[in-house]
């Protein structure tokens, strides 16, 4: 418990303090000063923090309920699209075609009327509600179907992947009304603050850090509650938990929806900071990448998810610049090395006791060998 | 022959009254009166060099049907911009064709002394003249000695349904010996007659019947385009169009089934290997798509090697590539199993992550070796082209792939049922400890099973190299589909895999016409997501204790 409190405190201090320091040195020191942090670092860190939010969401379901999601980037992207729609409407008549209601890409494909599902996105609060509702409702529907019929394990992973793949294909279509292939970009400002101003970037980064910290505390509260203990029980022995009188599907569904909403909020913060949202965010590879962040940091530790997201992305930024040829080798190797030699991730190296208690491996291998006996 | 002059006379009149062509009219009037046929030929020669494109196009058309022995040479020269006319008005409008050694007279083909270049102008063409040239070359093809050329020309004549071509068709029909070409020519005659609004009602009715007998889209559009018919003919046309529509619908249905089956065959090829590694062994191999990709690249390398060393068997490089791809991908599969997978048995989720990492490495490795661009894998002649079957056009390479997928599945089933390796594989999956007790080296069988699945993926790559781009991302496009096929068919059940692949393919192709290819895919995915939730064990679940699988 002591160690857990320490990691929590360290995580919060690092996330909040670190981003505050960066923001201060970016804004207060002139560009000539040694202490000045360049603007690109701010937007980069803001991006990493968004990824950390996604990683946290993945860890909540994978680390604590054992649902290996290969489609969480879909919720991230949906939140991003909701925010992108608001930013698009915020452009107003400043687009290339100077149309006050229609975004440029709609004029480009010859539409003359705003589709009904774009109504309301000119209000920031409505967009915020959608950021929460769209991923939440989709996750709710998906989870309700999936958990009720007891789809689990690898099958669940594959259909989450199919989900994000289907969304990827759908959003590539121009007539969906979400910008098709190119997505949405060229945003001007958010709530009146111009996006290209450094104070806006710093502010967004600080907000992201605050949201990440809140999500971290929320996830921690969930996992440390009585509810969270049932989640771990479901992860380690679903059938046994069911026989004890719990309904695993309800527990899974609740935490699945919460996780999807957290991912959606992460996506919503991501879009104004990178300035673009397009269908490639739905690519199945992105979701799997998020899983590996969690695996590197340490599955089922929450703090590890944040750490993993930041470390892997730092490495990615550095390697794709320095040695672009090597990056995929290194990234692929990371998957293999972490699963083979570092099953508890980086946090696991420091933790005295196993971060994942019980013996999930033993259980799943027993189930697996049972399945293999039956198969064939 | 009298009908041929119909065109030139009209143009004569028009050029007389057309204010633009006073000069030309003067030239034409000045032409001395000649025998009818000769004048027709002469006029079209003159028109070809006319100062307006309209006249020029007309000249080309007339020349083509004139039967002049020089027609082909002149039209060729015009297309290749080797045709030259006198720059200044001259009553005899000389025409020259430039050849390598100098000039020849366009009308006679005799060499002439090189005229002064100052007096010459090149005859230029525009789009309408170019299309007239295309038609003309088609018409000239009617008298070719090659049956296929004649057939093609007759088809083209049918498509244009030009009333002016009627005499030409008659002449060609009189000479035609091939029954098939004759039939098309008669259809073309019927079409031209219908278009020309001449002929008695009974002639026109029989023409409608003849065109309708084609029962294809061009016959339909021709019939539907006819306006202002007598009630009797109009009724016959309406009935014929309706009949053609019904037949076309049936053919479209059959065609959809064929496309669906060929897509299903591709899915089956990609999924069969997975049915072994995932279905039988329970290993989630996300690098399965990369095995397919490596099979495709093996095809590329084998083709290169054969072209370099034994060009004689170039056409059968694909056949050599099949065992080669099996061995390369299979050997790689064995290595992967020994170095990676065996440490992860019983941890499906970790296996998934590790093999995903492996797939990234394999993709990047191939990209580093071969470059990121698509590689050019050629199709042998015996795999290209298409077969017409009634109203269906079956592409030969798709047919081969359907056949190949069936063969691979049959061979795999036979191996599993009767082969020594197959017996061991079944023994190990059914009862590992007992199999070990009977002296089967179970770890080795694991490696071979994985190698078998990978090898089959490699063979799938050979087939896919014929219809898809060979690039490092090739496998990525098939991995999700393959998993869905295996899951839909029920794990560990090859008949289920076959059924699932075929039904997915057919469903996909049936949704496609209504909603477009992308939406078809989405509909299928959505259907599968719902399906898996209804029947998590697939269409043909295994019976047993797999409650938690």
The Cα B58–Cα B52 span in angstroms is: 10
Is the pLDDT assigned to residue B21 strictly greater than 50? no
Tokens of A205: 């980064």
Strand B83-86 versus strand B120-122 pairing type: antiparallel
Is A187 a member of any domain? yes
Bridge-partner residues for B98, per DSSP? B103
Look at residue A370 in the predicted model and tell me its pLDDT.
42
- As a whole number, mean pLDDT of residues A89-101 equals 84
Per-residue confidence band for B444, with pLDDT thresholds at 50, 70 and 90: very high
Is the pLDDT assigned to residue A375 strictly greater than 50? no
Give chain A's end-to-end CA distance (angstroms, integer): 46
- The number of distinct structural domains making up chain A is 1
Q: Which residues of B touch A169 (CB under 8 A)?
A: 518, 521-522, 525
Q: Which residues of B touch A368 (CB under 8 A)?
A: 282, 345-348
Asked if B340 reaches chain A (Cβ–Cβ under 8 Å), the answer is yes
Q: Give the count of Cβ contacts less than 8 A between chain A and B.
A: 175
Mutate: best of A332, A344, A345, A364, partner B, most B CBs <10 A: A332
Per-residue confidence band for A366, with pLDDT thresholds at 50, 70 and 90: very low
Look at residue B15 in the predicted model and tell me its pLDDT.
42
Q: Are the CB atoms for B460 and B288 separated by under 8 Å?
A: no
Secondary-structure breakdown of chain A: helix, strand, coil percentages, each rounded to the nearest 5: 75, 0, 20
Residue with tokens 């004048």: B39
Q: Are the CB atoms for A181 and B518 separated by under 8 Å?
A: no
Most trustworthy range by pLDDT among B97-101, B225-229, B269-273, B510-514: B269-273
Is the pLDDT assigned to residue B319 strictly greater than 60? yes
What is the pLDDT of chain B when averaged over all its residues? 79
Over residues B469-502, the pLDDT tens digits come to 899 888 887 887 888 888 788 766 788 889 989 9
Give the CA distances from residue B174 to residues A138, A147, B165, B167, in Å, rounded to whole numbers and listed in that order: 72, 76, 14, 11
Percent of chain A with pLDDT over 70: 92
B521/A166 touch (CB, cutoff 8 Å), yes or no: yes
Is A57 a member of any domain? yes
DSSP A277: E
Stronger pLDDT, B478 or A83, i.e. the higher one? A83
Look at residue B67 in the predicted model and tell me its pLDDT.
66
pTM higher than 0.80, yes or no?
no
Q: H or E element: which one contains B36? A: helix B36-48
- Of A154, A163, A183, nearest to A281 (Cα)? A183
The Cα A270–Cα A77 span in angstroms is: 9
- As a whole number, mean pLDDT of residues A276-303 equals 91
| Domains of chain B in sequence order | 2-141 (no CATH), 251-534 (1.10.3470)
The Cα B263–Cα B4 span in angstroms is: 52
Tokens of A285: 């590879």
Buried b (16+ CB within 10 A) or exposed e, B395-432: bebbbbbbebbeebbeebeeebeeeeebebbbbbbeeb
Look at residue B48 in the predicted model and tell me its pLDDT.
78
Tokens of A312: 């892997």
Is A359 a member of any domain? no
Tokens of B544: 């047993």
Look at residue B545 in the predicted model and tell me its pLDDT.
41
Is A308 a member of any domain? no
Is the pLDDT assigned to residue B328 strictly greater than 90? yes
A157/B354 touch (CB, cutoff 8 Å), yes or no: no
Over residues B114-167, the pLDDT tens digits come to 777 777 888 888 888 887 787 777 777 777 777 777 887 788 778 777 776 777
- Of A362, A155, A158, A371, nearest to B281 (Cα)? A371
Per-residue confidence band for B337, with pLDDT thresholds at 50, 70 and 90: very high
Over residues B512-523, the pLDDT tens digits come to 766 666 777 777
Contacts of A116 (CB under 8 A, 6+ apart): none
Stronger pLDDT, B124 or B295, i.e. the higher one? B295
Give the CA distances from residue B499 to residues B265, B280, B493, B531, in Å, rounded to whole numbers and listed in that order: 10, 17, 10, 15
Residues 387-426 of B with CB under 8 A from A: 425-426
Tokens of B411: 């061979």
The Cα B394–Cα B62 span in angstroms is: 38
Look at residue B537 in the predicted model and tell me its pLDDT.
64
Per-residue confidence band for B546, with pLDDT thresholds at 50, 70 and 90: very low
Is the pLDDT assigned to residue A364 strictly greater than 60? no
Q: What angle do CA B399, B402, B406 make, to 5 degrees?
A: 140
What is the ipTM metric for this complex? 0.80
The Cα B212–Cα B242 span in angstroms is: 10
Residues 462-481 of B with CB under 8 A from A: 480
Look at residue B293 in the predicted model and tell me its pLDDT.
94
Q: What is the DSSP string of B298-313?
A: HHHHHHHHHHHH-GGG
Contacts of A9 (CB under 8 A, 6+ apart): none
Is A101 a member of any domain? yes
Mutate: best of B275, B285, B346, B485, partner A, most A CBs <10 A: B346
β strands within B320-395, DSSP E: 386-389, 392-395
Residues 362-381 of B with CB under 8 A from A: 363-365, 367-368
Q: Are the CB atoms for B458 and B325 separated by under 8 Å?
A: yes
Q: Which residues of B touch A142 (CB under 8 A)?
A: 529
DSSP B33: P
Is the pLDDT assigned to residue B20 strictly greater than 50? no
Per-residue confidence band for A353, with pLDDT thresholds at 50, 70 and 90: low
Over residues A18-42, the pLDDT tens digits come to 999 998 888 888 888 888 888 889 9
Per-residue confidence band for B542, with pLDDT thresholds at 50, 70 and 90: low
Look at residue A153 in the predicted model and tell me its pLDDT.
77
Look at residue B63 in the predicted model and tell me its pLDDT.
79
List the helix and strand counts (H, then E) for chain B: 22, 7
User: Looking at CA atoms only, how far is residue B17 from chain A in angstroms?
Assistant: 47
Residue with tokens 């899974």: A252
Tokens of B434: 């007992």
CB atoms within 10 A of CB B139: 26
Is A148 a member of any domain? yes
- Of B141, B175, B174, nearest to B155 (Cα)? B141
- As a whole number, mean pLDDT of residues B525-549 equals 60
Q: Which residues of B touch A292 (CB under 8 A)?
A: 353, 357
Is A326 a member of any domain? no
B487/A155 touch (CB, cutoff 8 Å), yes or no: yes
- As a whole number, mean pLDDT of residues A114-138 equals 93
Per-residue confidence band for A282, with pLDDT thresholds at 50, 70 and 90: very high
The Cα B157–Cα B190 span in angstroms is: 11
Q: Are the CB atoms for B95 and B49 separated by under 8 Å?
A: yes
The Cα B224–Cα A124 span in angstroms is: 56
The Cα B237–Cα B230 span in angstroms is: 10
Percent of chain B with pLDDT over 70: 85
The Cα B96–Cα B84 span in angstroms is: 5
**Residue A42's domain spans which residues?**
2-287
Q: Residue A60's Cα: distance from chain center in Å?
A: 11
Give the CA distances from residue A270 to residues A54, A188, A312, B138, B484, in Å, rounded to whole numbers and listed in that order: 10, 15, 17, 61, 32
Range name among A57-61, B293-297, B345-349 with the lowest pLDDT average: B345-349
Over residues B233-280, the pLDDT tens digits come to 888 888 888 888 888 888 888 888 888 888 899 889 888 888 888 877
Look at residue B231 in the predicted model and tell me its pLDDT.
80
Asked if B545 reaches chain A (Cβ–Cβ under 8 Å), the answer is yes
Give the CA distances from residue A45 to residues A85, A206, A262, A317, B11, in Å, rounded to whole numbers and listed in that order: 24, 10, 19, 11, 79
Look at residue A127 in the predicted model and tell me its pLDDT.
94
Per-residue confidence band for B296, with pLDDT thresholds at 50, 70 and 90: very high
Over residues B30-66, the pLDDT tens digits come to 444 334 444 444 566 777 777 788 888 888 877 777 7
Secondary-structure breakdown of chain B: helix, strand, coil percentages, each rounded to the nearest 5: 70, 5, 25
Asked if B361 reaches chain A (Cβ–Cβ under 8 Å), the answer is yes
- As a whole number, mean pLDDT of residues A109-129 equals 90
Is the pLDDT assigned to residue B25 strictly greater than 50? no
Residues 259-298 of B with CB under 8 A from A: 279-282, 284
DSSP A33: S
Look at residue B374 in the predicted model and tell me its pLDDT.
87
- Residue B461, Cβ density class (10 Å: 0-12 exposed, 13-18 middle, ≥19 buried): buried
Per-residue confidence band for A279, with pLDDT thresholds at 50, 70 and 90: very high
Q: In what order do the strands lie in the sheet with B111-112?
A: B111-112, B102-105, B95-99, B83-86, B120-122
- As a whole number, mean pLDDT of residues A245-267 equals 96
What is the pLDDT of chain A when averaged over all its residues? 87
């Amino acid at each position: 418990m002591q160690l857990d409190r320490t990691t929590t405190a360290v995580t919060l201090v690092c996330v909040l303090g670190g981003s505050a320091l960066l923001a201060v040195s970016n804004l207060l020191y002139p560009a000539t000063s040694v202490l000045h942090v360049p603007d690109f670092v701010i937007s980069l860190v803001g991006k990493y923090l968004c990824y950390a939010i996604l990683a946290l969401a993945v860890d909540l379901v994978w680390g604590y309920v054992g649902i290996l999601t290969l489609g969480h980037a879909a919720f991230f992207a949906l939140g991003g699209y909701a925010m992108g729609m608001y930013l698009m409407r915020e452009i107003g008549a400043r687009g290339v075609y100077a149309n006050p209601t229609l975004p440029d890409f709609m004029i480009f494909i010859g539409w003359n009327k705003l589709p009904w599902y774009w109504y309301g996105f000119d209000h920031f609060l409505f967009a915020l509600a959608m950021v929460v509702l769209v991923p939440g409702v989709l996750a709710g529907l998906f989870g309700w179907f999936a958990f009720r019929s007891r789809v689990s394990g690898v099958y669940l992973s594959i259909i989450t992947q199919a989900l994000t793949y289907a969304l990827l294909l759908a959003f590539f279509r121009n007539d969906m009304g979400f910008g098709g292939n190119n997505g949405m970009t060229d945003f001007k400002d958010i709530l009146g603050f111009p996006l290209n101003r450094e104070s806006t970037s710093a502010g967004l980064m600080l907000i992201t850090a605050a949201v990440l910290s809140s999500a971290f505390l929320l996830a921690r509260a969930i996992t440390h509650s009585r509810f969270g203990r049932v989640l771990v029980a479901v992860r380690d022995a679903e059938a046994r938990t069911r026989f004890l009188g719990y309904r695993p599907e309800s527990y899974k569904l609740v935490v699945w929806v919460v996780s999807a909403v957290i991912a959606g909020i992460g996506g919503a913060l991501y879009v104004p900071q990178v300035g673009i949202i397009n269908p490639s965010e739905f690519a199945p590879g992105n979701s799997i990448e998020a899983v590996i962040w969690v695996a590197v940091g340490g599955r089922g530790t929450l703090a590890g998810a944040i750490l993993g997201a930041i470390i892997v992305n730092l490495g990615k930024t550095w390697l794709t610049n320095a040695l672009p040829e090597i990056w995929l080798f290194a990234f692929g190797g990371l998957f293999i090395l972490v699963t083979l030699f570092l099953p508890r991730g980086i946090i696991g190296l420091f933790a005295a006791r196993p971060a994942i208690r019980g013996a999930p491996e033993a259980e799943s291998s027993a189930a697996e060998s049972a399945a293999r006996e039956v198969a064939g | 022959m009298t009908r041929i002059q119909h065109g030139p006379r009209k143009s004569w009149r028009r050029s007389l009254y057309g204010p633009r062509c006073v000069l030309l009219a003067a030239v034409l009037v000045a032409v001395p009166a000649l025998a009818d046929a000769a004048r027709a030929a002469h006029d079209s020669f003159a028109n070809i060099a006319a100062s307006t494109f309209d006249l020029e196009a007309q000249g080309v058309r007339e020349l083509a049907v004139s039967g002049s022995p020089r027609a082909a040479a002149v039209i060729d020269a015009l297309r290749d911009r080797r045709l030259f006319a006198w720059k200044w008005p001259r009553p005899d409008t000389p025409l020259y064709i430039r050849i390598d050694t100098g000039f020849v007279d366009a009308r006679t083909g005799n060499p002439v002394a090189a005229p002064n270049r100052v007096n010459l102008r090149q005859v230029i063409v525009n789009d309408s003249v170019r299309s007239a040239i295309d038609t003309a070359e088609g018409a000239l093809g009617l008298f070719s000695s090659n049956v296929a050329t004649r057939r093609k020309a007759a088809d083209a004549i049918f498509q244009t349904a030009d009333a002016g071509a009627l005499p030409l068709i008659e002449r060609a029909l009189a000479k035609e010996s091939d029954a098939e070409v004759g039939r098309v020519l008669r259809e073309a005659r019927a079409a031209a007659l219908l278009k020309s609004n001449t002929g008695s009602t009974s002639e026109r009715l029989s023409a409608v019947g003849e065109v309708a007998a084609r029962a294809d889209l061009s016959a339909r559009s021709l019939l539907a385009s006819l306006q202002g018919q007598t009630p009797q003919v109009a009724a016959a046309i309406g009935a014929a169009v309706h009949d053609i529509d019904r037949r076309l619908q049936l053919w479209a249905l059959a065609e959809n089934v064929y496309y669906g089956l060929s897509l299903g065959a591709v899915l089956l090829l990609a999924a069969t290997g997975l049915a072994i590694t995932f279905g039988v062994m329970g290993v989630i191999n996300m690098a399965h798509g990369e095995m397919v990709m490596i099979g495709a690249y093996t095809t590329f390398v084998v083709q290169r090697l054969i072209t370099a060393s034994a060009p004689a068997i170039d056409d059968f490089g694909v056949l050599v590539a099949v065992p080669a791809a099996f061995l390369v991908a299979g050997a790689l599969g064995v290595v992967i199993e020994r170095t990676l997978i065996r440490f992860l048995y019983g941890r499906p989720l970790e296996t998934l992550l590790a093999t995903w990492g492996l797939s990234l490495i394999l993709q990047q490795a191939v990209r580093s070796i071969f470059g990121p661009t698509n590689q050019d894998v050629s199709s042998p002649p015996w795999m290209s082209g298409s077969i017409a079957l009634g109203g269906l056009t079956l592409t030969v390479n798709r047919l081969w792939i359907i056949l190949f997928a069936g063969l691979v599945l049959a061979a795999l089933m036979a191996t599993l049922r009767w082969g020594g390796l197959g017996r061991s594989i079944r023994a190990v999956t059914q009862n590992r400890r007992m199999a070990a007790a009977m002296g089967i080296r179970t770890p080795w069988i694991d490696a071979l099973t994985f190698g078998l699945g990978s090898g089959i993926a490699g063979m799938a790559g050979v087939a896919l190299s014929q219809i898809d781009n060979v690039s490092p991302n090739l496998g990525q496009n098939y991995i999700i589909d393959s998993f869905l096929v295996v899951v839909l068919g029920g794990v560990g059940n090859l008949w289920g895999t076959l059924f699932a692949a075929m039904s997915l393919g057919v469903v996909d192709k049936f949704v496609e016409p209504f909603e477009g290819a992308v939406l078809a895919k989405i509909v299928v995915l959505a259907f599968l997501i719902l399906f898996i939730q209804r029947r998590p064990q697939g269409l043909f679940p295994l019976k047993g204790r797999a409650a938690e699988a």
